[in-house]
A and B are shown apart, each in its own frame.
Chain A
Amino acid sequence: MAGMTIKGFKKRSRRPMSLGDRMFEYGNFIFLTLLMVVTLYPFLNTLAVSLNNANDSIRGGIYLLPRIWTIENYKYVLGEATIFHATMISILRTVIGTVLTVFCSAMVAYTVSRQEFVLRKFVTIAFILTMYINGGLIPNFLLIRDLGLIDSFWVYIFPGLIGVFNLIIIRSFIEGLPESILESARIDGAGEYRNFFSIVLPLSTPVLATVALFSGVYQWNQWFDVFLYNSSNVELSTLQYELQKILQNSNASMTSKSASDGFANVGQQGSGVTPFSIRATMTIVASLPIIMVYPFLQKYFVKGMMVGGVKG
């Protein structure tokens, strides 16, 4: 063990490790470190490009650190009216969508967790069946059109209000709460509403945090419903959709030699930014909120996945 030089290695096993074991530890450590590098490098590279002088980035050779530091790209992206507005819509749909999803899912989950509820089976099956059968893209599109939800903000909220997976993990959690708490509250005269609002909701914080994370990530990352229903209305565009449009542009000009050349048609010469740098900057803006939140909710969503993945 004394030969171990890698920081953080501690002696845990009771007996000395064999040579093979030690080789394995080293190999494993190196492999997993490499895995982290492969995972993180693209983000760090994008971050470096977003903080580098736009015209300088085109020369290439930016890896982990900017060559000429600047916040010009961020100033431009956040100052651009369309992108700023789209960011606001993204925030709005994330907040409203998440709050409503968590609240409504918890409410339904509470009712189906009450063993005595006469419609328990019916509600559960009605929801679970939708996991197996769905109308598909076009029938859904026709429904949204007939409901008059096209060109409206609420098309982001209503169709996905309650997810079956969320419902299942909240229900499992509520069913795991000690029955005696609800029982004693009931004896004290608390009705279903009070039980739900003042006992079940506060006690379910861990699972609700998980669902909030899933729902928030979904809402923030969603671009397809914007594309499908609101693509003609720039007022309702979201950050991800704006980014997708830029991406599609550069994809169309894939045949050009480099990723940065592809933007020639939309280049803003003289303004100190290029589409290449704008894309990098928007990528960072579009992923930063999530990157900052998820590590803190890790222990919650890991539990949620265990319940949802294994138990169902």
Chain B
Amino acid sequence: MAMLGEADLTPAARARPLARPNYHASRKERDRMEKHAAGLASGTVPSKPPSGIKSFLIKLGRQHPLIVMSVPFLIWLFIFKYVPLWGWTIAFQKYKPALGFWDQEWVGLQHFRFLFEDERFLRVLRNTLAMSGINLVLGFATAITLALLLNELRQVAFKRLVQTVSYLPHFISWVVAAGIIQTTLSPDGIINELLMKAGWIKEEILFLGIPEYFWSIFGAGTVWKDVGWNTIVYLAAMTMIDPAQYEAAEMDGAGRFKRMWHVTLPGIKPVIVVLLIMNIGYLMESGFEPQYLLGNGMNVDFSENLDIFVLKYGIAQSNFSLSIAAGMFKTIVSFILLFAANNIAKRLGEARLY
């Protein structure tokens, strides 16, 4: 049996204590293992153990502690994450809550057709894409810049301080952040005060009341909240760069900016590429909380995004069918984008999401 332990190196074979199988293995099992060992010796059996239902059940039985530790959560997963998918059927019905599933009237793609003729939905779609696009470009540019600047710091204590401070807004809730943004941008807030003192404006601007400003406010707010947090991955990647590269560049007379441009940036390129591709996969996710919390009646044309649309139609107006159709559209497009992104990343030979 010891021979088997060494010969069969597939993970599955490490399953149970092969060091002492004879003491515990049942007779049947011992037979199977001996057969297996014989097969191995003659080279006819592939290194994988026999994969019949029977052996699967035997293994299942032997691994009962692992089953006990995971199956309850599989059931949880099924109920909370997979059962809701059933709700998608409602998007194809003229849903009436009082009726049972079989009594609903089926309307095919009517709700989807309605959505794409609905001016409000198209506007919401535009807002979603615009804001996630802003998020993507601005998020990347600022985080990479900040990471580069932090990486150039030689004072460890100061670097640590900047990092700790810059992580702070990431941890506070959007409720608090939105409150802070509101206060800062209010007519008697600090921004207006500074602009007035500088003489750039003559009277206060109601920033959140001007629809066209909303995307910029959203972009600035998101950067304020997450720029520090987003540097973590880049800074980690920068520590992996071989210091010899910097020394060689310095010998060649490369100045600070040249080193940043020719050594640091290429060094973190793989990470940038992966994150960029992954983020393209999240283009339909422009966030919900900032838009909901900072949005108001005046800027609604620019602040309302898909998630808010779903919430308003679904919960406030109880138009479940239309709302689910909109949500379903979002999920499916996201799924396709993510899948494509993951495959592109795979083809480029970079790390993947899973």
- In Å, the complex CA distance between A259 and B182 comes to 8
Residues of A within 8 A of B271 (CB): 310
Q: Is the CB of A116 within 8 A of B69?
A: no
Within 8 A of A (CB), among B299-354: 307, 310-311, 314-315, 320, 323-324, 327-328, 330-331, 334-335, 338-339, 351-354
A285-310: contact bitstring with B at CB < 8 Å (1 yes, 0 no)? 01100110011001000100110011
- Asked if A240 CB lies within 8 Å of chain B CBs, one says yes
Most buried by A among B66, B206, B307: B66
Task: Check A133–B256 contact: CB distance below 8 A.
Answer: no
When each residue 170-212 of chain B gets 1 if its CB lies under 8 Å from chain A and 0 otherwise, what string results? 0111111011101110111110000000000000101011000
**What's the Cα separation between A24 and B152 when bound, in Å?**
9
Indicate the size class of the contact surface on chain A: 35 or more
Cβ of B59 under 8 Å from chain A? yes
Whether the pair B153, A28 counts as a contact (CB closer than 8 A) is yes
Residue A88 is within 8 A (CB to CB) of chain B in the complex = no
- Are A247 and B293 interface neighbours, CB within 8 A? yes
Contact of A32 among B73, B150, B328 (CB under 8 A): B150
> Which of A40, A108, A138, A193 is in CB contact (< 8 Å) with B70?
A108
B13, chain A: closest CB distance, angstroms: 8
Please state if B182 and A135 are interface contacts (CB–CB under 8 Å).
no
Question: Is A116's CB under 8 angstroms from B339's CB?
Answer: no
Q: Please measure, in the bound complex, the distance between the C-alpha atom of A257 and the C-alpha atom of B320, giving whole angstroms.
A: 39
Q: Which of A35, A60, A259 contacts B162 (CB 8 A)?
A: A35
Does A75 belong to the interface (CB within 8 Å)?
no
- CB-CB contacts below 8 Å: A274-291 with B: 279, 283, 286-287, 290-291
Cα–Cα distance between A302 and B340 once the two chains are bound (Å): 29
Choose one: A107, A254, A283, A287; the contact of B208 (CB below 8 Å).
Answer: A254
Contact B320 A312 (CB under 8 A): no
Would you call A254 and B167 a contact (CB within 8 A)? Answer: no
What 0/1 readout, one digit per residue, does chain B (151-167) give for beta carbons within 8 Å of chain A? 01111011001111111
- On chain B, the residues within 8 Å of A159 by CB distance are 80
Chain A minimum-CB-distance residue to B146? A35
Residue of B nearest to A138 (CB): B314
Across the interface, which residues of B come within 8 angstroms of A138, CB to CB?
Answer: 87, 90, 310, 314-315, 320, 323-324, 327
Task: Given A135-B87, A254-B298, A290-B171, verify A104-B233 contact (CB < 8 Å).
Answer: no
A108 engages B73 (CB within 8 Å): yes
Question: Complex: how many Å from CA A46 to CA B19?
Answer: 65
Contact residues, A185-228 vs B (CB, 8 A)? 186-187, 191-193, 196, 217, 220-224, 228
- Decide if B63 is an interface residue (CB 8 Å cutoff): yes
Contacts A138-B327, A162-B76; A36 near B166 (Cβ below 8 A) = yes
For window 66-87 of B, CB contacts with A under 8 Å fall at 66-67, 69-71, 73-74, 76-87
CB distance A116 to B232 under 8 Å? no
8 Å CB interface, A1-59 against B: 8-10, 12-13, 18, 20-21, 24-25, 28-29, 31-32, 35-36, 38-43, 45-46
Please determine whether A196 and B69 come into contact, CB atoms closer than 8 angstroms: yes
CB contacts (< 8 Å) of A114 on chain B: these are 66
CA gap between A109 and B16 in the complex, in Å: 19
Q: A260–B188 contact, CB under 8 A?
A: yes
- Report which of A39, A131, A142 forms a contact with B165, defined as CB distance below 8 A: A39
Is there an interface contact between B289 and A224, defined as CB atoms closer than 8 Å? yes
The stretch of A65-73, A78-86, A119-127, A265-273 in contact with B is A119-127
Query: With A39-B169, A247-B182, A309-B275 given, is the CB distance from A133 to B65 under 8 Å?
Result: no
User: How many of chain B's residues touch chain A, expressed as a range?
Assistant: 35 or more
Assess whether A111 is in contact with B168, with CB atoms less than 8 Å apart. no
Minimum C-beta distance from A39 to chain B (A): 5
Check A305/B88 contact, CB under 8 A, given A107-B70, A240-B173: no
Query: Could you list 18 A-B pairs, sorted by A, with CB under 8 Å?
Result: A24-B256, A32-B150, A40-B165, A104-B73, A110-B69, A126-B78, A134-B81, A162-B73, A162-B77, A187-B19, A192-B66, A244-B293, A283-B179, A294-B167, A295-B164, A302-B236, A310-B237, A310-B351
A residues with CB within 8 A of B: 8-10, 12-13, 18, 20-21, 24-25, 28-29, 31-32, 35-36, 38-43, 45-46, 60, 63, 104, 107-108, 110-112, 114-119, 123, 126-128, 130-143, 147, 158-159, 161-162, 186-187, 191-193, 196, 217, 220-224, 228, 240, 243-244, 247-248, 250-252, 254-255, 257-260, 279, 283, 286-287, 290-291, 294-295, 298, 302, 305-306, 309-312
B: which residues have CB within 8 A of A? Answer: 11-17, 19-20, 56, 59-60, 63, 65-67, 69-71, 73-74, 76-88, 90, 146, 149-150, 152-155, 157-158, 161-169, 171-176, 178-180, 182-184, 186-190, 204, 206, 208-209, 224, 228, 232-233, 236-237, 255-257, 271, 274-275, 288-289, 293-294, 296, 298, 307, 310-311, 314-315, 320, 323-324, 327-328, 330-331, 334-335, 338-339, 351-354
